[in-house]
Amino acid sequence: MSHPFDQSGQQHYDRDGLPVDAPAQPQAFQQPFQQQYPVQPHAAQMPMYAMGQPQVHPKSWLVAVLLAFFFGTLGVHNFYLGNTSRGVAQLVLTVLGWATAIILIGFFFLAVVGVWAFVEFVLILLRSGSMATDSNGVPLR
């Protein structure tokens, strides 16, 4: 059964599956896809907020300091700041340390993650290094 508005006998579709008009002449060699809209030269000079980017709310410095102080070895402050790989590494080292503490090697893991968490706590407290901003580069408020 054919479509009631189809007069050509065969319906043509674009790449998205939407119906389009049949080409006037079949082309043996089609041109590669070209940009249909001209690039605006001033678009690269526009500020980021004018490009339709979502507003990013800065993270709280006090919350980051408190999380680093109380839950530093679990990496909660890194999760809060968006540094998930650091947070996962601290969490894994802490869990691995507690799990292997029975054979005494776990105390080494706990000591390493404890020193790491303390250094990050001091860096957040002083707003220094990579701990002065969140993972998006937004300074802590």
Report residue 91 CA to chain centroid gap.
20
pLDDT for 4: 55
Question: Whole domain around residue 127: which residue ranges?
Answer: 61-132
Determine the Cα–Cα distance for residues 61 and 15; give it in Å rounded to an integer: 49
Q: For all residues of the chain together, what is the average pLDDT? A: 82
User: What pTM, to 2 d.p., does this model score?
Assistant: 0.62
Residue 67 belongs to a domain? yes
The total of structural domains in the chain comes to 1
Residue 18 belongs to a domain? no
Quickly tell me which residue has 């507690």 as its tokens.
98
Question: Is the model's pLDDT at 55 over the cut of 90?
Answer: no
Q: Where are the beta strands (DSSP E) in the chain?
A: 12-13, 19-20
Q: Which two tokens stand for residue 134?
A: 């969140």
Query: Per residue in 104-118, pLDDT tens?
Result: 999 999 999 999 999
Question: Is the model's pLDDT at 50 over the cut of 70?
Answer: no
pLDDT for 47: 56
Residue 23 belongs to a domain? no
